[in-house]
Structure 1
Amino acid sequence: MQVLVYGAGQLAQMMYLEGCPMGIEVHAVDVKNEQVVHPVSKQVIEISLAHAIANADALTVEFEHVPEHLLEQASRSGKLFPSIDAVLIGADRVREKRLLTRLGVKNCAHQVVTHIDQLDECVEALGERLIVKASRDGYDGYGQWRLTEKSELPALKSALQGLDLQTVPLVVEQMLEFDREVSIIGVRDKQGVVRVYPLAENLHHKGQLHVSVAPAFNITEALQQQAEAIFTTLAEGMEYIGVLAVELFQCGEQLLVNEIAPRVHNSGHWTLSGSDVSQFNNHLRAVTGLPLGRCNSHRISAMINIIACSAFSSDLLSIPGCHLYWYGKTVREKRKMGHINVTAENYAELGDKLLALSEYLPIEYFPKLVSEAKRLKSLSAA
């Protein structure tokens, strides 16, 4: 079988590596130049995109910001999973909010802004603590602005003045006082079977994910069931096929959707080490029509992103249960260079291993690591 992935980054690379043992050949599309490339070496494969589409059993995406004309071409083949509509929802916060409203899925109070002067109405309706997000092309903290008090409104308007809000509206959300950020990763196949991994807790720094822990500590059965119900509502509402990620805010015993990602997701990388079947493996199974695998957690896991850093000691691999995944990129500010998975029998042991890991890393690039290690140890002792 052959799968063609739109996007030639680390997610396509991990799909390739997970597909090999199943006999699934994965090619990637560099969407900037529309060339078909090897997902690991990035070497150009001398076939046309049209030929690659014709030969593939399934087409999929590694990120939602694929040029729309390419998605339309892929959709016409009848082999694009998830569908073009699902991908476009993930790429546009306005479409995403409309989906959540239509399906009755709870999310942050918000308004859509197509003119700067509407920000005054947002303050009146939502309060003076707001998060302003570009409806498209924003990720890892890019395309976001904050208002913490009404006196900052003139400066915010000035910062947004040059934007074409008719073409790319803003989504203005009420700033929540949430307990923590969690995510649910799951998969739906062509027969409508849904399977869901345990909730992961996510720690961000400057809008970018730094550490995920799964299963998240102190998740009640009711909270997990609530997350699974949200996932199922979204997956069935979109007639979704493949892996879907849903990022959530936990406010007491209430989960609110922050955003959705129609693809394999950074907060699901722990599944490569901590589950019987990874998110990448399950995604390939779903889009090619193979039976889904288990979405379990056989150990406590942490995923640590390596961001804008390439110099660290490979002796970190001496830590039992420590796995390094390197993406082979050149260093750039805020760029994800790789990730580290660490597994343990319990949270206290995981905390100890993360403290040991910190000794092998330039800690200024890992601002959440030590505090999370100490937190896990203290939670386990409580």
Structure 2
Amino acid sequence: MNVLIYGSGQLAQMMYLSAVPLGIKVFAVNVADHTVVDPISKIKLDMSIEQAIDLADVLSVEFEHVPEDLLEQAQSSGKLYPSMEAILTGADRVREKNVLEKLQIGNSKHQIITHVDQIDEAVAQLGEKLILKASRDGYDGYGQWRLSNKQALPELKQQLAELDLQTVPLIAEQMVPFDRELSLLGVRSLQGDIAFYPLAENLHYQGQLHVSVAPAPAIDSQLTEQAQSAFTKLANEFDYVGVLAVEFFQVGDQLLVNEIAPRVHNSGHWSMQGADTSQFENHMRAITGLPLGNTQANGKCAMINIIGCDDYSTDLLSINNCHLHLYGKSVRAKRKMGHINLTGQTYPELAEVMTTLAKYLPIEHFPKLLDEADKLAQLD
């Protein structure tokens, strides 16, 4: 069985590593230069994309920002999972909002902005605290602008006036006073079977995910049912195959969808050590027609992103229940260099491992780690 992944970054690498024990061969497309590469070494392979598509039994993606000409070619093969429609929806906030409204899935109140003067109307309708998001190509806090009060509106409009909002509209969202951020990863098979991972709690810093804890603390059946209902509606709408991530704001006892990601997701990396079957293996299973694996968490798990640094001590590997995953990248500000998975049977046990880990890290690059450990230490 051969699988071709569009995108050749760390997610393709981790899919490759999960596929090897299943007898599945994975190769990847570098979408920047339209070459076919080995997902681990990044060495170019002696084949064209057309030849790779012919060789592959299944095509998939590691991220949603794949050029549309490549997606059209992939979709026309009849081998692409998830579908081009699902991928494009994940890549475009206007499409995403339209689908959420169509399916009556709760999300932040919003307006679509195609001209800078429409921001005045958005303020009138939604209030003066807004977050404006580029509808395409925004991630990790990029392509976002915040409005805290009306006095800052003229300066913001002047800044946004330089953008081509007809080509790439903005989504003006009411700034939600959420209690926390959660995400649900699920997987849907070719046969339509669905399996859910437990909800994860996500801690962001400067718009970028730093820590995920799974299962998220203080989750009741009502929150789980809301999240799984939203996932199921989306998965059925797209006849989805593979892993799908849905990110939420929790506001009291209500979940509002923040965004969707039609792929394996950073907030699911904990599953590599924290579940019987990782998100990467389950994606491979789903798109190749194999039975889905067990998604239940084995105890408690934390995933800590390594961002913009490499000056940690590899002696952290001496810590029990600590697993290091590096992506082989050169250091750059805000760049995800790898992640660390920690496990424990209870939240206090997990907190103890997190606190020990901090001794091996340049803590200024891990601003959420110790605060989260303190919180988890107080839980049963």
Give the Cα separation in 2 of the matches to 1:267 and 1:241. Answer: 19
| Alpha-carbon distance, 1:194 to partner | 0.8
Aligned 1:302-381 pairs, distance under 5 A: 302-380=302-380
SS of corresponding position for 1:40 = coil
Question: What is the aligned partner in structure 2 of residue 134 from structure 1?
Answer: 134
TM-fit CA distance, 1:159: 1.1
Q: Which amino acid aligns with 2:181?
A: E
Q: For the residues of structure 1 that align with 2:105 and 2:266, how far apart are their CA atoms?
A: 23
1:190 offset after TM fit, Å? 1.1
Matched with 1:188 is: 188
Q: Distance in 2 between matches of 1:306 and 1:298?
A: 23
Amino acid paired to 1:74: A
Instruction: Provide the residue aligned with 1:153 in structure 2.
Output: 153
Task: State the Cα distance separating 1:210 from its structure 2 match.
Answer: 0.1
Q: Within 2, Cα distance between the matches of 1:378 and 1:290?
A: 41
Structure 2: distance between partners of 1:321 and 1:297:
15
Shift of 1:367: 0.6
SS at match of 1:281: helix
**Whole-angstrom distance in 2 between the partners of 1:307 and 1:50:** 36
Q: Name the aligned partner's letter for residue 124 of structure 2.
A: E
> What is the rounded CA distance, in whole Å, between the counterparts of 1:67 and 1:315 in structure 2?
41
Match in the other structure for 1:60 = 60
Map residues 253-332 of structure 1 onto 2, 5 A cutoff. Answer: 253-332=253-332
SS of the residue 1:364 aligns to: helix
Q: Mark the runs of 5 or more structure 1 residues left unpaired by the alignment.
A: none
What is the one-letter code of the residue matched to 1:221? S
Question: d(CA) in 2 for partners of 1:109 and 1:97?
Answer: 10
- Structure 1 length-normalised TM: 0.99
* Shift, 1:378, TM fit: 2.1
- CA deviation profile, 1:18-56 (whole Å, cap 9, x unmatched): 000000000010001111101011011111110000010
For residue 162 of structure 1, what is the aligned residue in structure 2? 162
The one-letter code matched in structure 1 to 2:242 is G
- The aligned counterpart of 1:176 is 176
Measure, in 1, the Cα distance between the counterparts of 2:65 and 2:55: 24
Shift in Å, 1:224? 1.0
**Alignment match, 1:116:** 116
**Alignment-mate amino acid for residue 352 of structure 1:** E
Task: State how far apart, in whole Å, the 2-side matches of 1:225 and 1:106 are.
Answer: 13
**Amino acid corresponding to residue 244 of structure 2 in structure 1:** L
* Superposed displacement of residue 321, structure 1: 0.7
SS at match of 2:378: helix
Give, as a single letter, the amino acid of the residue that structure 2 aligns with 1:186.
G
Given residue 310 of structure 2, which amino acid in structure 1 is its aligned partner?
Answer: S
Q: Give the distance between the partners of 2:247 and 2:222, measured in 1 at CA.
A: 18
| 1:379, distance to aligned residue in structure 2 (A) | 3.1
Deviation at 1:158, TM superposition (A): 1.1
CA deviations on 1:86-142 (whole Å, 9 max, x unpaired) are 000000000000000111101000000000000000000000000000000000000
Which residue identity does 1:273 align to in structure 2? Q
**TM-score, normalisation: structure 2:** 0.99
1:379 is paired with a residue of what secondary structure?
Answer: coil
Give the aligned length: 380
Give the corresponding residue for 2:243.
Answer: 243
Q: Could you list the per-position Cα deviations for residues 272-311 of structure 1 after superposition, in whole angstroms to 9, with x for gaps in the alignment? A: 0000000000001111111111111012000000001111
**Residue-by-residue CA offset, 1:131-176 (whole Å, 9 max, x unaligned):** 0000000000000000011111001101111100000000000001
Question: What is the distance in 2 between the residues matched to 1:325 and 1:204?
Answer: 20
The whole-number CA distance in structure 1 between the counterparts of 2:311 and 2:25 is: 33
Residues 1:11 and 2:7 are matched in the alignment: no
Q: Per the alignment, in what secondary structure is the counterpart of residue 157 of structure 1?
A: helix
Query: Matches of residues 67-106 of structure 1 in structure 2 within 5 Å?
Result: 67-106=67-106
Aligned residue type for 1:287: I
Q: 2:379 is paired with a residue of what secondary structure?
A: helix
User: Cα RMSD (Å) of the superposition?
Assistant: 0.6
The corresponding residue for 1:227 is 227
2:17, 2:326 → 1: CA distance?
12
Q: Which runs of 4+ in 1 moved over 3 A?
A: none
How far apart, in 2, do the equivalents of 1:72 and 1:238 lie? 16
